[in-house]
Amino acid sequence: MKFKRFAVGIFISQKLWLFLNSLYILNIDIMKISFDFDSTLSESDVELYAKSLIEKGHEVWIVTSRLGNGNEPNPKWNDDLYECADRVGIKRQNIHFCSMSNKSEFLKDKGFLFHLDDDYIELSFIREETDVFPVWKYHGNNWKQQCDDLIRIISIYK
């Protein structure tokens, strides 16, 4: 696999190169970005980051394994998620409940740049089955830098 080097100091894989070309061909201006909720967007540092992305004009989504759309065990089941979405500024139409199905099924072919999640297995399905870049959030890693690098690279091609 060939790699191309850019000034931002990271290597671009063939998958990213194909994604960048599709952005150029389709002239896509909006960046769709997806966040898991539990142990990801529910954490204050991620919440602040997501809010900053919305303020910069990006389209932010919550894609969660949680039960929703009438399948919740009780009516208040997702109140914490909705409260967080309201604080961040995520529109209700940009919240998708996978109801324990793989998130890759929803994310596939929808134009998302990346999905931030704490579940490595879920991210493995996303990496294998979609064109979405999986970003793993775990304690102490550089998830935010990885997200910013992807946005910066895409911005070069806009």
For the stretch 92-129, pLDDT in tens is 999 999 999 999 999 999 999 999 999 999 999 999 99
Number of Cβ within a 10 Å radius of residue 142: 10
Tokens, residue 90: 């995520």
Cβ atoms within 10 Å of 38's Cβ, excluding its own: 15
Residue 6 lies in a domain: no
Is the pLDDT at 13 greater than 90, yes or no?
no
Mean pLDDT of 139-157: 86
Rounded CA separation 114/117 (Å): 10
pLDDT, one tens digit per residue, over 47-81 is: 999 999 999 999 999 999 999 878 888 989 999 99
Between the ranges 14-28, 75-89, 140-154, where is the mean pLDDT highest? 75-89
Q: Which helix H or strand E contains 153, and what residues bound it? A: helix 143-156
Task: Tell whether 4 is covered by a domain.
Answer: no
Q: Which of 54-58, 84-88, 153-157 has the highest mean pLDDT?
A: 84-88
Q: Residue 112: inside a domain, yes or no?
A: yes
Within a domain: residue 53? Answer: yes
Q: Does 131 fall in a domain?
A: yes
Domain membership of residue 56 as a residue range: 30-156
Tell whether 21 is covered by a domain: no
Q: Could you tell me what percent of the chain has a pLDDT over 90?
A: 68
DSSP β-bridge partners for residue 114? 33, 133
What lies within 8 Å, CB to CB, of 130 at 6+ separation is 104, 107, 108, 109, 112
pLDDT digits (tens, 9 = 90+) for 17-42: 556 555 544 444 568 999 999 999 99
Rounded to whole angstroms, how far apart are CA atoms 135 and 66? 19
Note whether residue 9 is domain-resident: no
CATH number at residue 52: 3.40.50.1000
Cα 10-16-19 angle, rounded to 5 deg:
145
Q: H or E segment at 134?
A: strand 133-136
Domain count, the chain: 1
Asked whether residue 54 is assigned to any structural domain, the reply reads yes
Q: What is the mean pLDDT of residues 5-21?
A: 48
* Alpha-helical runs (H) found in 68-111: 79-88, 103-107
Cut 0.75: pTM above it: yes
Closest listed residue to residue 124, CA positions, set 112, 110, 114, 136:
136
**Would you say residue 16 has pLDDT above 80?**
no
